[in-house]
Amino acid sequence: MDWNSRRITAILANALEEDRATRDATSYACIEPGQRGIGTVIAKQDCILCGVGAIRRILEIFAELDGTIVNYPQVTTHNEIFDGVRLHTRQTIAVVRQNARVLLSCERVILNVLQRLSGIATLTRQFVEAVAGTGVRILDTRKTAPGLRVLDKYAVRCGGGQNHRLDLSDGMLIKNNHIALAGGIISALEHAHRNRRGEQTIEIEVRNLEELEFAIRYGAEAILLDNMKPEQIREAVAKVKDAGRKIPLEASGGINIQNVRAYAETGVDFISVGALTHSPTAVDLSMRIQPA
């Protein structure tokens, strides 16, 4: 099991433990121990699906935590149902056959995971479609829910976006606080070139065209154009071309679904959007459970 798989297992196990799923007072009081149930997970709105594989894994982890469940879940999905697919209202995502108590105890965790991840994937797809034809790629940021980053970033990929950095070890991005503490853009870039490990690209944040010129002159290998207007970004794109260097340009700050197209048409390579993971609206899903 690789690091990501272990991390996802830990996230799902923590979610079940947080909800005290193996101590479900209501279900254990009202439902007979041997009762079997059929749970149908349904989309209540159009959306991009993400997290369908978590349904089985949550039920398996519950069985491991509980220690008394003998029969593992039967999870059925149609061939056209997979992460990244577009769903329509009232479309069935999966049918689960399992002990009824278990279904009831895991229902909220299953829905919480799918609703959040599908919300991220849906929002990401909206941004991707808004810039279609421009060649711009939509990036996420590290503005993720604490503890959920590996899932949040997976959801961005399911929506058609790309991941920026998974964590602080995953690349160099010199931001305004680094610049201030290092003594300026020139000093920060010189330190970065001298001290970097391996072949990680040195990206630096600039907030105006003067800072951009320093970044180009002193060895920036990628540049984040922060909180600039589209007209300023067009000038920045032109300056990089005039410098005769191929430096990837990323726009960020104040970009939303209404103005993202205008930014995409400036000629930048990437647009990063923190809202993909810090402000997604959960997709409306439900699980209907009936006796088997």
Residues tagged active-site: 108, 143, 175, 205, 226
User: Six-digit token pair at 85?
Assistant: 């697919």
CB under 8 Å to 177, separation ≥6 — which residues? none
Strands 74-76 and 172-174, bridge-based pairing: unpaired
DSSP assignment of 106-171 = HHHHHHHHHHHHHHHHHHHHHHHHHTTTS--EEE--S---TT-HHHHHHHHHHTT-B---SSGGG-
d(CA 279, CA 268): 24
* Strand arrangement, sheet containing 137-139: 137-139, 270-272, 249-252, 222-226, 202-206, 172-174
**How many whole angstroms separate alpha carbon 242 and alpha carbon 57?**
53
**CA pair distance 260, 173, nearest whole angstrom:** 22
CA dihedral in degrees (108, 70, 30, 38; nearest 10)? 60
**N-term to C-term CA, the chain:** 34
- Helix pair angle (53-66, 100-130), 10° resolution: 150
Pairing of strands 137-139, 270-272: parallel
Phi, psi of 31 (to 5 degrees): -115, 135
